[in-house]
Structure 1
Amino acid sequence: MVWGPLGAGWLTGKYRRGQEVPSGSRLGDDSNRGLEALSRRGTDRTWRIVDTLVTVADEHGLTPVQAALAWVVDRPGITAALIGARTADQLRDSLTAADLHLDPAAAKLLDEVSAPPTPDYPYAFIDELSTRTD
């Protein structure tokens, strides 16, 4: 079960690189709010994910919310996504994704752009040991 499948609003498409944060949104009310704070999540990696998600959504005639939820619930091991709509329109948009599935190429693209970086330790150390010749 996935809690926060829209990344505290980041995967809704309302936050865009180089644009003002919309008023009335979580970050529009307080850009340093909690874990979703612009100063914490407004990284190049996050913007690449958002940009890719918006492109995938546009190419499939979906909203970013629908594309994000379709991708999340199609991931292996996921049986449910807990959505946190604040308005009826947000709820309707989210529920529309219940029967949606992205094509394999789009899912792969989102997998790749959102893959977490591999931590240096112990993985770099293991790699170093496995390639040693002495």
Structure 2
Amino acid sequence: MAAGPRAGVRLEARSLGLVSEQCLYNLAERNAEQEVIPAARAYGLAVLPWSPLHGGMLAGVLAAGSSEGKRRHAGRGAHSLLGHADQVRRFEHVCAQHGLAPAEVSLAWLISRPEVTAPVIGPRTVEQLESALRAIRLRLPDSLTKELEEIFPGPGPAPESFAW
């Protein structure tokens, strides 16, 4: 008699069904690019990033009079902003130069990543949902993508990025 409840049972990857990876991934938090994104690419998995606006930090928190800014200066976005204020200021300036809403630019950048199937969004208002839907149709020019990635460069590939 074989040991264990499933002795002799052979599982194949395709019998597991649909598999996805949910990770924190956005312009400001790009650590997933070190190992998670390359692994997803290698295994043919899609990535469903959560917190695509980094707790509201990438939604226009510094814009004068912004309702998002007023709300986020007191929550999780405020904590994240402590370490990213200069980057967020530059980001919002670049978005304004292009006449684009920061939240839409952030989502459009994330959606443009080949491994990203769909970001996990959490709109609180109809306006936020409509903004997210506009981001789906927004195609960022290569020059703007380059600017964004200069502001938020990411950690670089592993294992080199782990080196001291």
Relative to the length of structure 2, the TM-score reads 0.57
Greater Rg over alpha carbons, structure: 2
Paired AA for residue 92 in structure 2: V
- 2:95 match: 57
Q: For 1:115, what is the secondary structure of its paired residue?
A: coil
Among 42, 47, 54, the alignment partner of 2:81 is 42
Is the CA contact 2:92–2:102 (under 8 Å) kept in the aligned structure 1? yes
The structural deviation recorded for 1:88 is: 0.7
Q: Distance in 2 between matches of 1:49 and 1:26?
A: 16
> Does the C-alpha gap of structure 1 residues 121 and 108 become closer, same or farther in structure 2, counting only changes over 3 Å?
closer
Structure 1 outlier segments of 4+, above 2 Å = 115-122
- 2:4 match: none
Q: Distance in 2 between matches of 1:109 and 1:47?
A: 17
The structural deviation recorded for 1:60 is: 2.4
Unpaired segments ≥5 residues, structure 1: 125-134
> Does the C-alpha gap of structure 1 residues 99 and 26 become closer, same or farther in structure 2, counting only changes over 3 Å?
same
The structural deviation recorded for 1:59 is: 2.5
Matched, 1:9 2:9: no
Q: For 2:114, what is the secondary structure of its paired residue?
A: coil
Paired AA for residue 115 in structure 2: G
Per-residue CA shift, 1:20-76, capped at 9, x if unaligned?
A: x51xx254xxx3x4xx263x32335x1233223212322322111111111111123
> Does the C-alpha gap of structure 1 residues 37 and 54 become closer, same or farther in structure 2, counting only changes over 3 Å?
closer
RMSD across aligned positions (CA)? 3.0
Relative to the length of structure 1, the TM-score reads 0.68
Matched, 1:105 2:125: no
Is the CA contact 1:49–1:110 (under 8 Å) kept in the aligned structure 2? no
Percent of counterpart pairs with the same letter? 31
> Following superposition of structure 1 onto structure 2, how do residues 1-134 of structure 1 map, counting pairs within 5 Å?
1-13=48-60, 15-16=61-62, 22=70, 25-27=71-73, 31=74, 33=75, 36=76, 38=78, 40-44=79-83, 46-117=84-155, 122-124=162-164
- 2:35 match: none
Is the CA contact 1:11–1:64 (under 8 Å) kept in the aligned structure 2? yes
The structural deviation recorded for 1:78 is: 1.3
Aligned residues: 113
